[in-house]
């Protein structure tokens, strides 16, 4: 198979050394993306190319760039104010877009071949002016990008590379980009077998756009759903105009089996010409759908109560949801941790799955696996999570961001509700592994009312004397090597 090339377009000023450690932003992003692509896609399918020449700004658009654009299947653009000010970057952007529009394949599997990566916050109107091609502007404007910055409490965009506490966010974004690339490669003609039947259309979930304070929770839920093979809507940016906004929401809701709405303490942005926020409009549209097959889950974290909300409009909205008498099996308003929400959403979707083909063995019901791993092993544990999911199990992992109290409460909630615990022992110390097994023993004191369906320790590389001499506590099964997945499947059946 010929590798597919990815063109990384950036302004060279964004790769100049900066910060206290003289880090190069684009270079570090490229390294993170390469590693994430390797984990998601594997070797040999992708080549990542970028122009590493130190340009001065007045070079002509040369034949080498034209050649690389012709070879490239995907165009990743690092957006910043420097990028929007560069005529050279604009030419790269336009040239790739024009090529793909002429071929009629700018979009694949509901995704754009132009992948927008935001180093800084960019206004949509500024980006439209930069694109400056009538045929390309609407395609780029509606594409959802990946933000490699965060907004602080004052609403100022901050670079994740300058904040050590945001390392997890940075790597999650790189993994999100790699996942999108994998989707496009898997759906492309180069990967389709001749005469093969088209794969079944995945179940769609409308995961409503949120206010800024619920953005991280939404992204966490989106990753969980995508890892399980669900299609998450909206796949494009919603229009800025109120009428077009409402129509786009209705169109996506008609495709969905379930809609999920995360309600925070902030009211959120209001589309142009509307009197209500996008969060409220999406909720009202979902509840107004006449299709009884669409079920809606309205969720808010326990700490957000009407009394804690400063903005009156949002307080009234939350009070309305609390007091609403929703139709049975049509909508529900819940307060819980984000992990409990994930379990609820998966349970609601499980009851709505398309019937399996005749003769197909159904997945084992009631097998929710808590995959426990140290953050340093999180990437290495991903193949195990994917394999278990493909076998029909429901796999959940703890968050890697949050306060100590939030992470402890989340861990307790998962241990109370899950069926099976699988501890992955990679680079962590033996004391960490034993502490995780002790926590599973403490679960009855936190509210667990039934025995675990199994407790397992999967020993992964690197080897160590502690691993070779590890004595498992009673009731814990230890497994090693690549046969671990098959062993788990047999033991859990």
Q: Per residue in 192-233, pLDDT tens? A: 443 444 555 788 999 999 999 999 899 889 988 887 778 999
Q: Which of 172, 255, 157, 190 is nearest to 46 (CA)?
A: 190
- Chain-centroid distance of CA 305 in Å reads 27
For the chain, what percent of residues have pLDDT higher than 70? 91
Ranked by mean pLDDT, the top range of 61-75, 308-322, 466-480 is 308-322
**Which residue bears the tokens 């299947």?**
73
| Strand (E) or helix (H) holding 458 | strand 454-459
* Residue of 266, 328, 323 lying closest to 296 (CA atoms): 328
In the predicted structure, residue 21 carries a pLDDT above the cut 80:
yes
Q: Looking only at Cα atoms, what is the longest distance across the chain?
A: 70
In this prediction, residue 117 carries a pLDDT of 94
**Residue-wise pLDDT tens digits, 357-377:** 444 444 444 478 999 998 888
Q: Can you tell me the mean pLDDT for 114-121? A: 93
CA 61/CA 55 separation, integer angstroms: 11
Segment 50-88, tens digit of pLDDT: 888 755 444 555 788 888 999 999 999 999 999 999 998
């Amino acid at each position: 198979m010929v590798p597919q090339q990815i063109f990384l377009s950036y302004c060279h000023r964004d790769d100049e050394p900066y910060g206290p450690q003289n880090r190069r932003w684009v270079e570090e992003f490229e390294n993170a993306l390469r590693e994430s692509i390797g984990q998601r896609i594997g070797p040999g399918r992708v080549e990542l190319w970028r122009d590493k020449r130190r340009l001065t700004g007045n070079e002509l658009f040369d034949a080498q760039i034209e050649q690389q654009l012709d070879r490239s299947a995907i165009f990743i653009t690092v957006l910043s104010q420097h990028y929007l000010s560069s005529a050279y970057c604009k030419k790269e952007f336009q040239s790739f877009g024009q090529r793909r529009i002429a071929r009629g394949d700018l979009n694949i599997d509901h995704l754009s071949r132009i992948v927008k990566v935001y180093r800084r916050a960019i206004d949509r109107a500024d980006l439209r002016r930069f694109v400056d091609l009538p045929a390309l502007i609407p395609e780029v404007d509606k594409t959802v990008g990946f933000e490699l910055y965060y907004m602080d409490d004052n609403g100022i965009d901050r670079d994740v590379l300058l904040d050590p506490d945001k390392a997890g966010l940075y790597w999650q974004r790189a993994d999100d980009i790699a996942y999108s690339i994998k989707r496009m490669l898997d759906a492309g003609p180069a990967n389709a077998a001749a005469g093969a039947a088209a794969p079944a259309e995945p179940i769609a979930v409308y995961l409503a756009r949120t206010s800024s304070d619920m953005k991280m929770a939404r992204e966490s839920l989106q990753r969980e759903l995508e890892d399980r093979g669900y299609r998450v809507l909206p796949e494009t940016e919603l229009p800025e105009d109120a009428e077009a906004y409402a129509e786009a929401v209705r169109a996506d809701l008609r495709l969905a089996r379930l809609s999920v709405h995360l309600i925070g303490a902030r009211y959120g942005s209001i589309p142009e010409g509307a009197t209500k926020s996008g969060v409220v409009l999406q909720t009202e549209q979902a509840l107004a759908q006449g299709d009884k097959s669409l079920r809606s889950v309205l969720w808010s974290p326990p700490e957000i109560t009407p009394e804690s909300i400063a903005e009156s409009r949002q307080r009234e909205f939350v009070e309305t949801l609390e007091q609403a008498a929703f139709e049975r099996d049509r909508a529900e308003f819940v307060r819980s941790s984000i992990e409990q929400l994930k379990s609820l959403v998966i349970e609601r979707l499980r009851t709505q799955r398309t019937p399996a083909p005749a003769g197909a063995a159904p997945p084992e019901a009631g097998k929710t696996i808590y995959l426990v791993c140290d953050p340093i092993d999180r990437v290495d544990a991903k193949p195990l999570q994917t394999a278990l999911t493909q076998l029909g199990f429901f796999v959940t992992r703890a968050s890697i961001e949050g306060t100590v109290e939030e992470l402890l409460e989340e861990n307790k909630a998962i241990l109370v509700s899950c069926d099976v615990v699988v501890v992955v022992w990679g680079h962590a110390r033996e004391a960490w592994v034993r502490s995780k097994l002790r926590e599973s023993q403490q679960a009855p004191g936190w509210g667990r009312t039934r025995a675990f369906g199994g407790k397992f320790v999967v020993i992964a590389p690197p080897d160590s004397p502690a691993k070779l001499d590890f004595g498992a506590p009673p009731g814990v099964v230890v497994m090693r090597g690549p046969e671990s997945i098959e062993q788990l499947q047999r033991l859990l059946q």
